[in-house]
Chains A and B, each alone.
Chain A
């Protein structure tokens, strides 16, 4: 793995299944290109998000805090897909929401296209929302059941005053529905009349309505069947090619992350423990947690699955209210030494573009 591998744009459409309408993109760049020559679109540095834990009904006092995100730093280039993986409760969803300003950060800085999110207020928030959108995990809970598809997709258009008339809004909604593979004839239907996969397409159309640059996808496919997952993932890739979108893809399905992401960050208890280019992570994982996580992923091949050595982690993720001292993973780590429980490992570049926080990595 060399530095070059990181900077080579990924030619997703090498197999030739590109939509002909994408030919407007300069051929030299490929249909999907990561802009390595310009500053990153998203820059997160030392981001913290704590939630207070209180006691007492009338006189509330804070007795501790849930350290959901405990100092993470990374950047996402324009046109790139960064994967964020980890077990439930590792803080990946909180991280995604804090980055979009849906939660106010406890401290730290997030810049999206040069705009600082921490401390943003009023009209600036609205401007940010236009540029940065979200696709949610549960396609059942994230769509208002009493609104028609048309009003759901048109809401961002109304809020951001992107359309002048109702007719224009309807036109744009139909365009968006077509774009995500829904029949525009269905625009007056309600969410319950759609299947899970179709609902997730509605969520995608809504996210695209304000013409964003950056989309946080919070487990967008976990609630879907395998065959439908592939449909939604392919749609997201097509849209990325078409509009040069940048994704933060939050997931716990490591196989899908390997498929869709350019780089992957592994989170554990509020911190990123490893961050590198996708094939490097899957072929040469350095952190014991990443190794355990990867070894737990089932392989749809009976011989291979039976032959490999699984690292079974014992127990569950500890509470983020009182995270373990030193390295957060030390009490579940099969390789832990004394130093791990005393000293927090440094976040460093162990190999070119391969960042890891572990005392055992030389």
Chain B
């Protein structure tokens, strides 16, 4: 089931945080589009703004200290940054659902799984207790929790890490959302459980024709899952392309470095890993020049002076870099 209807159109989103030490420039003018039923991966290191971008889309940033300095988040042509908080409540959970990294802190430890799972059903869909219970059992069954009727009265601590994440996904799917935002849903889990969860999300996505945004720092996880990949660095999108192009023909030095820093389970070792020297930039300092320039082996004078804009280099590939990595010379 594929269609080309635009679901989400984020335009020039800027999110900043005003704190005692100054202003944190977390998201610096991010624009991207997402079609219905499409899977988009957002990749980057900690602090690159990938989570803040998606929290902004859900309008989950506390204001203050947060501030949506500019931009639009058009969801089905409605700007989510402008709608009232009441309307937003209806979007969250019903239209756009989110799964968080750490299922233990995202679940309420003193409420049973059943209570937490039936809440969105009763609030958003107006189901009565009995029907909500019934639907909750179906949902747990759908995400592969054995003996769901009995597990409904369990508390989060009685679930294993993988089961908690499944319960989180069940909760997110409760109202059949059109968009699922998964924020590093498998980072805290073992590889075997990670494979179970990605398989589950893939299956549900295809069944329900749901768009998925998968946030991760690991380029390995999303290779088999995503259709399109956005690479973020220091609050900017530095590269955006189809999944094949990102892995086979990466154009940004940062994407290239991320791929080279990854050891491969399917290859014999040839040499030391290539590491990226230095650390991500301090977001308190307003960006000047290309944010990756201080760590970039290709950087030249212009990179330190002027931040490259994100421009298309082919119909499906966008890049923000002054350098052509194949030659090492300016584009």
Interface residue ranges, A against B (CB under 8 Å): 12, 14-15, 17, 87-88, 195-198, 225-231, 233-234, 237, 252-256, 258-260, 279, 282, 292-306, 310, 312-316
Contacts and interface: CB of A to CB of B under 8 A. Distances in A.
Given A88-B161, A226-B217, A234 B273 contact: yes
Residues of A contacting B: mostly:
helix
B220 A312 contact: no
B195 A300 contact: no
Given A227-B276, A258-B263, 9 more contacts: A14-B271, A87-B191, A88-B161, A230-B275, A234-B272, A258-B265, A300-B223, A302-B223, A305-B223
A312 B195 contact: yes
Nearest to A260: B263
Interface stretch (B97-105, B169-177, B253-261, B323-331): B253-261
Interface of B: 45-46, 146, 160-163, 190-196, 198-199, 217-221, 223-224, 243-244, 247, 257-259, 261-266, 268-277, 279
A230 B263 CA distance: 8
B285 to A, nearest CB: 16
Contacts of B194: 296, 298
A139 B248 CA distance: 34
B131 to A, nearest CB: 30
B257 A227 contact: yes
A300 B220 contact: yes
Nearest to B273: A230
11 contacts: A15-B271, A226-B218, A229-B261, A252-B190, A259-B273, A279-B268, A297-B191, A302-B224, A306-B224, A310-B195, A315-B146
A293 B261 contact: no
A252 B161 CA distance: 15
A316 B166 CA distance: 12
Nearest to B221: A298
A301 B162 contact: no
A15 B270 contact: yes
B223 A227 contact: no
Contacts of B261: 226-227, 229-230
Nearest to B264: A255
A302 B265 contact: no
A304 B264 CA distance: 12
B266 to A, nearest CB: 5
Given A88-B190, A258-B263, A230 B274 contact: yes
A234 B264 CA distance: 15
A228 B45 CA distance: 9
A174 B269 CA distance: 33
A296 B220 CA distance: 11
A88 B263 CA distance: 21
Contacts of B276: 227, 230-231
Contacts of B262: 226, 255, 300
A95 B163 CA distance: 26
B100 to A, nearest CB: 18
A88 B62 CA distance: 35
Contact of A300 (B160, B196, B264, B277): B264
Given A230-B274, A293-B191, A300-B259, A316 B223 contact: no
Contacts of B257: 227
A226 B192 contact: no
A233 B273 contact: yes
Given A12-B272, A15-B271, A299 B266 contact: yes
Nearest to A278: B269
Contact of A227 (B162, B258, B272): B258
Contacts of B146: 315
A227 B274 CA distance: 9
Nearest to B242: A302
Contacts of B265: 254-255, 258, 282, 294, 297, 299
Contacts of A17: 271-272
B269 A225 contact: no
Given A296-B191, A310-B199, A316-B162, A255 B275 contact: no
Contacts of B268: 279
Contacts of B193: 87, 316
Contacts of B274: 230
